[in-house]
Amino acid sequence: MRFQLTDEQRAVRAALRQLLDRRFDREALRAAVEASALDRALWRELGAAGFFALRLPEAEGGVGLGLPEAVLAFEEAGRALLPGPLVATHLAAGEVPGAADGSVVVAAVDGGGVAEWLTEADVVRGDASGAVPLRSVDPLTPLHRVPGARGAADPVAVLLTAAEQLGTAVRVCELAAQHARTREQFGRPIGAFQAVQQLCARTLVRVEVARAAVYAAAVTADPVDIAAARLLADEAAVRGARDCLQVHGGMGFTWEAEVHLHLKRAWVRTQRAGGTTESEELLACDLVAGTG
Amino acid sequence: MDLTYTPEEEDFRARLREWLRGVLPSLPPKPSPDDWPGRRTYDLGWQRMLYDAGYGDVHWGSSPTLRLIFLEETEKAGAPYVGANFVGLLHAGPTIAAEGTEEQRARWLPPILRGEQVWCQGFSEPDAGSDLAALRTRAWRDGDDYVVSGSKIWTSHAEVADWCELLVRTDPDAPKHRGISWLAMPMDTPGITVRPLRTLAGSAEFAEVFLDEVRVPVANRVGDENDGWRVTMVTLSFERGTAFVGEVVACRRVLVELAREARKNGRWDDPVLRRRLGRLNAEFRALWRLTQWNVSEAEASGGVPGVGGSVFKLRYSHARQDLYDTAADVLGPDALDLDRPWVLDRLSSLSYTIAAGTSQIQHTIVAERILGLPRGR
């Protein structure tokens, strides 16, 4: 057993972080909030870097890597708050022409509820009939309400969403600690106060528990492990963003600080693939099935 | 990232399983919790069996991964845990192995491994709990002896221990972390009084120990004089490392039993309770994965557990309390009956967020050492 990142996995993560630092920095994030369109040039660059074709076999023009590497890539995307139907396009690689190299943007409808990026996408998979646009709580994710019953969730979609949530959790933990180290009140950094330390420490604990669950699920690809990863990653992202906002005080409540964008995106992701209820029920049934 | 074990590790697991299948039926019946001499005999007997089979030093002599497999398999098989050997195997032993002289190792380690001697821990004091370095038990040099006076508290197994790993203040004028020494004190020395403390669960799990001019040879000091704090930190990192592996395995089994009980008594039809059990399944699966992650990290760094132990301990202690609170929800009014399963476990779970460093202290450790926040007050 060697449940740690390999050198190759570290390299995959570092390469994507570098690309996103360069192409999607804070200014680009600001611009994306104001513009409604998806950055197609960035999408093609992600394609060229292998983001969508990561798990396609090399014989089919893919990178030939597995779920663990995909999870690391999606963690980075989540950390950078990268907008767009990333999971849907990644899952369409090899099935929808142009998805793998980023020349085509693919959205998906996974049953009733809400669907992301329907208007912007070149291809929509699933039944989008009767879709009605709504005023999205997340300025970086256009949403439609879709009628009908929810179908069974694709476990890989659930796992990659959990990886994005993990990335958000990591980022808000960094932002909270950074702010707590530098913001001064009563003549010292607020991070010297135990009440603030506790908020930050709890955020870090949730990150590490979620990380272990998400990475393990990527290795086993077991649907029950994936459901567990999803619950813990949702918790780490949503509660982490809330606590980060709290640590930022009044600034955390502003449009200008980036904290609210992380929280809103985390909320959007909790609605994907059947919501948390489906995962909780799956984990409960697993106890009765006896594999525990 | 790899969760599969090597052929050597799987071989270790298979041989251990077979051995456990062979010996467990021949174990004597478990003594009652209040029968201290009986518990001592039982726990030492189990350690002797492990020693004879070549597993005596698994807690600090083998790789973290083999230790993980050992703890996982013994728990799954329903074998006893360390019991009265806890301090010897998980605190004092590792400390002596890491910091003791060759002579000290030869003197104290074999009797621990062979299941002949029980150790207890004299660290906390009535006025030195979370602030352990504020301890006041004094030791004066008198010839080849230290003369020790003071009192210790929360000392498990003190009634039946042969030795006590003792922290004493040898320099009252130095800054508090720099005036402490680590001594091995024989428990039959004149001047020691042990007074059992009854816990809220009703049993006498630990004791107060009063020391009145107890003479401890200077040769029993591990590490340099006044270097006891550093020596102690080695011990504490072991305590927060793999100490809870068996318990996580046990909690996962309890969860399956809870689901079975809920199906039987109809509570399973309550979706709120059912989903709470589902969440606990996620929680303990994740804690198991975090254990594997920490063990792999320790393996890569040469076997020393890192601050990851604090992260684990924080989450686990709260999850354990949540597990037994949920058990009470499954039981309904039966949760008030001490003879029902899980009711005593619910009571004892209350100590988990306090013992071995309170959650509040663990938060401070995480905030300062992992997140780099400034030192608090």
* Token code pair at residue A145: 């309400």
Any CB–CB contact under 8 A between A238 and chain B? no
What pLDDT score was predicted for residue B239?
A: 53
What pLDDT score was predicted for residue B109?
A: 96
pTM over 0.90: yes
Please give the single-letter amino acid code of residue B74: T
ipTM: 0.95
Q: What is the 3-state secondary structure (H, E, C) of chain B?
A: CECCCCHHHHHHHHHHHHHHHHHHHHCCCCCCCCCHHHHHHHHHHHHHHHHHCCCCCHHHHCCHHHHHHHHHHHHHCCCCCCHHHHHHHHHHHHHHHHHCCHHHHHHHHHHHHCCCCCEEEECCECCECCCHHHCCCEEEEECCEEEEEEEEEEEECHHHCCEEEEEEECCCCCCHHHCEEEEEEECCCCCEEEEEECCCCCCCCEEEEEEEEEEEEHHHEECCCCEHHHHHHHHHHHHCCCCCHHHHHHHHHHHHHHHHHHHHHCHHHCHHHHHHHHHHHHHHHHHHHHHHHHHHHHHHCCCCCCCHHHHHHHHHHHHHHHHHHHHHHHHHHHHHCCCCCCHHHHHHHCCCCCCCCCHHHHHHHHHHHHCCCCCCC
What's the whole-number mean pLDDT along residues B167-193? 97
Q: pLDDT tens digit string along A234-256? A: 999 999 999 999 999 999 999 99
Angle, CA A246 vertex, CA A245 and CA A252 arms, to 5°: 45
Closest-approach residue (CA) in chain B for A283: B278
Nearest to A9 among B1, B4, B281 (CB): B1
What pLDDT score was predicted for residue A220?
A: 97
Mean pLDDT of all residues belonging to chain A: 94
What pLDDT score was predicted for residue B237?
A: 64
Which backbone phi and psi does B334 adopt, to 5 degrees?
A: -65, -15
Spatial strand order in the sheet of A111-116: A111-116, A143-150, A132-134
In chain A, residues 46-105 whose CB comes closer than 8 Å to chain B: 68
What's the whole-number mean pLDDT along residues B254-263? 96
Q: pLDDT tens digit string along A188-197? A: 999 999 999 9
In chain B, residues 7-26 whose CB comes closer than 8 Å to chain A: 9
Active site residue B239: yes
pLDDT over 80 at B238, yes or no: no
Q: pLDDT tens digit string along A163-199? A: 999 999 999 999 999 999 999 999 999 999 999 999 9
Q: How far is A219 from chain B (nearest CA, A)?
A: 7
What's the whole-number mean pLDDT along residues B33-49? 93
Of the pLDDT bands very low, low, confident and very high (cuts 50, 70, 90), residue A231 is very high
Nearest to B363 among A68, A198, A288 (CB): A198
Tell me how far apart the alpha carbons of residues B216 and B185 are, in angstroms, rounded to a whole number. 6
List C-alpha distances in Å: B114 to B47, B54, B75, B107, B186: 7, 10, 21, 12, 18
Provide the Cα torsion B156, B158, B160, B164; round to 10°. 110
Q: How far is A161 from chain B (nearest CA, A)?
A: 17
Q: How far is A132 from chain B (nearest CA, A)?
A: 32
List C-alpha distances in Å: A288 to A157, A213, A226, B285: 25, 21, 18, 15
What pLDDT score was predicted for residue B44?
A: 97
Q: pLDDT tens digit string along A8-27? A: 999 999 999 999 999 999 99
* Token code pair at residue A189: 């950094």
What pLDDT score was predicted for residue B241?
A: 59
Tell me how far apart the alpha carbons of residues B349 and B247 are, in angstroms, rounded to a whole number. 11
In chain B, residues 274-303 whose CB comes closer than 8 Å to chain A: 274-275, 277-279, 281-283, 285-287, 289-290, 292-293, 295-297, 299-300
Tell me how far apart the alpha carbons of residues A104 and B317 are, in angstroms, rounded to a whole number. 49
What pLDDT score was predicted for residue B303?
A: 59
Mean pLDDT of all residues belonging to chain B: 93
Tell me how far apart the alpha carbons of residues A205 and A5 are, in angstroms, rounded to a whole number. 19
Provide the Cα torsion A35, A40, A43, A44; round to 10°. -160
Q: Do residues A202 and A241 make contact, with C-beta atoms less than 8 angstroms apart?
A: no
Query: How is residue A6 annotated by DSSP?
Result: -
Closest-approach residue (CA) in chain B for A188: B374
What pLDDT score was predicted for residue A292?
A: 44
pLDDT over 80 at A111, yes or no: no
Tell me the CA end-to-end span of chain B in Å, nearest whole number: 40
What's the whole-number mean pLDDT along residues A55-81? 96
Provide the Cα torsion A6, A9, A13, A19; round to 10°. 130
Q: How far is B192 from chain A (nearest CA, A)?
A: 39
In chain B, residues 230-259 whose CB comes closer than 8 Å to chain A: 252-253, 255-256, 258-259
Contacts of B362 in chain A (CB under 8 A): 201
* Token code pair at residue B235: 């011990």
Please give the single-letter amino acid code of residue A161: T
pLDDT over 60 at A115, yes or no: yes
* Beta carbons of A3 and B3 less than 8 Å apart: yes
Of the pLDDT bands very low, low, confident and very high (cuts 50, 70, 90), residue B64 is confident
What's the whole-number mean pLDDT along residues B127-151? 96
* Beta carbons of B286 and A212 less than 8 Å apart: yes
Any CB–CB contact under 8 A between A232 and chain B? yes
Nearest to A1 among B65, B277, B283 (CB): B65
Instruction: List, in sequence order, every residue forming a beta bridge with B196; answer none if it has no partner.
Output: B207
pLDDT over 80 at B377, yes or no: no
* Beta carbons of A204 and B368 less than 8 Å apart: no
Q: Which residue blocks in chain A are alpha helix, DSSP H?
A: 7-23, 26-34, 40-48, 67-79, 86-92, 155-182, 194-220, 223-247, 259-270, 275-289
What pLDDT score was predicted for residue A121?
A: 96
Any CB–CB contact under 8 A between B329 and chain A? no
Q: How many CB atoms lie within 10 A of CB B304?
A: 13
pLDDT over 90 at A35, yes or no: no
* Token code pair at residue A66: 């597995």
Residue among B72, B75, B125, B239 flagged as catalytic:
B239
Of the pLDDT bands very low, low, confident and very high (cuts 50, 70, 90), residue A113 is confident
Q: Which stretch of A17-26, A127-136, A219-228, B197-206 has the lowest confidence by average pLDDT?
A: B197-206
pLDDT over 50 at B175, yes or no: yes
The residues, ordered by sequence, that sit 6+ positions from B326 with a Cβ below 8 Å of its Cβ are B258, B273, B276, B277, B280
Q: Which stretch of A8-17, B28-37, B188-197 has the lowest confidence by average pLDDT?
A: B28-37
Q: pLDDT tens digit string along B277-333? A: 999 999 999 999 999 998 888 888 765 556 678 899 999 999 999 999 999 999 999
* Beta carbons of B256 and A2 less than 8 Å apart: no
What pLDDT score was predicted for residue A69?
A: 97
* Long-range contact pairs involving A147-153 (C-beta distance under 8 Å, separation at least 24): A147/A112, A148/A111, A148/A112, A149/A111, A149/A112, A150/A110, A150/A111, A150/A112, A150/A113, A150/A274, A150/A278, A151/A110, A151/A111, A152/A274, A153/A110, A153/A272, A153/A273, A153/A274, A153/A278
pLDDT over 90 at A270, yes or no: yes
Q: What is the largest CA-CA distance in chain B?
A: 73
Domains of chain A: 7-105 (1.10.540.10), 155-289 (1.20.140.10)
What's the whole-number mean pLDDT along residues B90-113? 94
Q: pLDDT tens digit string along B332-347? A: 999 999 999 999 999 9
* Token code pair at residue B352: 């988990």
Tell me how far apart the alpha carbons of residues B227 and B179 are, in angstroms, rounded to a whole number. 7
Calculate Rg over the CA atoms of chain B.
21
The residues, ordered by sequence, that sit 6+ positions from A125 with a Cβ below 8 Å of its Cβ are A88, A92, A96, A106, A107, A108, A109
pLDDT over 90 at B223, yes or no: yes
CA B22, distance to chain mean position in Å, is 27
Q: Which stretch of A92-106, A116-130, B77-91, B239-253 has the lowest confidence by average pLDDT?
A: B239-253
Domains of chain B: 7-113 (1.10.540), 119-226 (2.40.110.10), 240-370 (1.20.140.10)
What's the whole-number mean pLDDT along residues B70-93? 92
